[in-house]
Amino acid sequence: MKRETLFLKIAIFIIGAPVAMLCVFVLPKFPNFYAEWLPELAYLRYPIVIFFYVTAIPFFFALYQAFNMLTYIDKNEAFSDVSVKALKYIKHCAAVISLLYIAGMPFFYLTADLDDAPGIIIIGLMVVFGALVVALFAAVLQKLLQKAIEIKSENDLTI
C-alpha cells in the first residue's frame, strides 16, 4: 500500500465510521426519543428512521467506490475505465443523497416548525448542497479522466 493513498484510505474510514456508529447505535433508539420529544409527530418516527437508513446506503456505496479508486491508483490503473465507472457511481450516489434529502425536507420542516428550531432545516440544506458539490466534482473528474484516457489511448496508438 502506497503512503499517498494510505492517508486517503484512513480518511475514508474516519468519514464512514461515525455514520456507521450512528446507524448501529443511535438510529435504533431514535423512534422512542422522537415520540417523547414531539408527541404530535410521533407517527413520523419510523419513516424518519427508514429515511436515514435509506440515505446511508448510497453514502456507504460511494465511500466503497472511493476506496476502490484509491486501490486502482495503488495498482497504477488510475487511468482506466474502471476508475471512470467508479466516479460515475460516486456521482450518482451523491445525486441520490441530494434528491432524497430534498424529498425529506417536508419532514425537516414539520419537525423544525413544531420545535421552533430552524437549524434543522439548515442542516438538511447543508447535506443537500454538500452532496450536490460532491456530485458536480465527481462529474467534472469523470469527464477529465475520460478525456485523459482518450488522449492516452491516442498516444499509445501513435507509438
Total-model pTM: 0.88
Q: Among 9-13, 104-108, 117-121, which stretch is predicted with the lowest mean pLDDT? A: 117-121
**pLDDT of amino acid 37:** 79
Higher-confidence residue: 52 or 152? 52
- CA torsion angle for 80, 82, 87, 92 (degrees, to 10)? 150
Q: Which range marks the domain in which residue 106 is found?
A: 1-157
H or E, element range at 20: helix 3-21
Q: What is the 3-state secondary structure (H, E, C) of 46-91?
A: HHHHHHHHHHHHHHHHHHHHHHHHHHHHHCCCCCCHHHHHHHHHHH
Higher-confidence residue: 62 or 116? 62
Residue 132 has pLDDT above 90, yes or no: yes
Residue 128 has pLDDT above 90, yes or no: yes
* Domain total in the chain: 1
Mean pLDDT for the stretch of residues 37-43? 80
C-alpha cell at 103: 424529498
Mean pLDDT of the chain: 90
> What span, in angstroms and rounded, lies between the C-alpha atoms of 58 and 93?
5
Mean pLDDT for the stretch of residues 42-54? 88
**pLDDT of amino acid 86:** 95
Residue 157 has pLDDT above 90, yes or no: no
pLDDT in tens, 90-104: 999 999 999 999 999
> What span, in angstroms and rounded, lies between the C-alpha atoms of 55 and 58?
6
Residue 53 has pLDDT above 90, yes or no: yes
> What span, in angstroms and rounded, lies between the C-alpha atoms of 57 and 91?
14
Of 52, 50, 51, 47, the closest CA to residue 22 belongs to 52
Residue pair 94/62 in contact by the 8 Å Cβ criterion = yes
